[in-house]
Amino acid sequence: DIQLTQSPSSVSASVGDRVTITCRASQDISRWLAWYQQKPGKAPNLLIFAASTLQSGVPSRFSGSGSGTDFTLTITGLQPEDFATYYCQQGNSFPFMYTFGQGTKLEIK
Amino acid sequence: QLQLQESGPGLVKPSETLSLTCTVSGGSISRSNYYWGWIRQPPGKGLEWIGSVFDSGTTYYNPSLKSRVTISADTSKNQFSLKLNSVIATDTAIYYCARHVRILAYWGQGTLVTVSS
């Protein structure tokens, strides 16, 4: 099974900062990686798919990059509404298995 | 606008069967080329894919849960369902339904199911 490891597990930052979250896959997943944002009490919300394609309606301060085993989510110019938990998810094993990273909690400094 | 809504009991006794239904509106689950799946999240923890159904019949399950899970679709009601049998306390979680292919673009709001006597 493909495992996804996110780092850091939590990060503190201020409004206006630039934050980078990484997701490492245990084997090559090409570009089949998505990022989700989850706020308390809400379902995850798709931000980025295919490693770097922004989902419709998602602000351009969010960006993704990477391929193979190493991926990053970058938020440039943090806004108050960005403080949430972020998950990566691999779709390489589709349709037989889907796995998520353990999550990264982005907190206000 | 596609919408998914989970429904079912919020409390299930240990060893019994957890049963949930996802009602889909704004789109058809049949002949859609989409997968209809279930994901769960224990309180304060991460996300776990449970399984999915495609084209009203073909199913895919997480190997770690496969022996206890059944997912089915009822196209006449535009619903799909989850049954998880022999539940234990660690099955307590928010259960989400979702429409997906390689990525999960549409989610229901989730429903908390607690396993307790």
Per-residue model confidence as pLDDT tens digits over B40-59: 999 999 999 999 999 768 99
Q: What's the mean pLDDT in B53-72? A: 93
* Residues B86, A89: Cα–Cα separation, whole Å: 28
Omega within 30 of 0 (cis) for the link into A8: yes
Of A89, A96, A101, the CB nearest to B103: A89
Q: What is the DSSP letter of B59?
A: E
**From the CA of B12, how many Å to the nearest CA of chain A?**
21
* Residues A108, A32: Cα–Cα separation, whole Å: 30
Q: Is the pLDDT of residue A98 over 80?
A: yes
Q: Is the pLDDT of residue B113 over 80?
A: yes
CB-based contact A95 B60, cutoff 8 Å: yes
Token pair recorded at residue B45:
């923890």
pLDDT at residue B56 in the model: 66
pLDDT at residue A56 in the model: 95
pLDDT at residue B88 in the model: 98
Share of chain A above pLDDT 90, in %: 96
Count of Cβ atoms closer than 10 Å to residue B87 Cβ? 18
Please report which confidence band the pLDDT of residue A17 belongs to, taking 50, 70 and 90 as the band edges: very high
pLDDT at residue A109 in the model: 87
E strands present in chain A: 4-7, 10-13, 18-25, 33-38, 45-49, 53-54, 62-67, 70-76, 85-90, 99-100, 104-108
Count of Cβ atoms closer than 10 Å to residue B70 Cβ? 16
Q: A103: which chain B residues are within 8 Å (Cβ-Cβ)?
A: 46-47
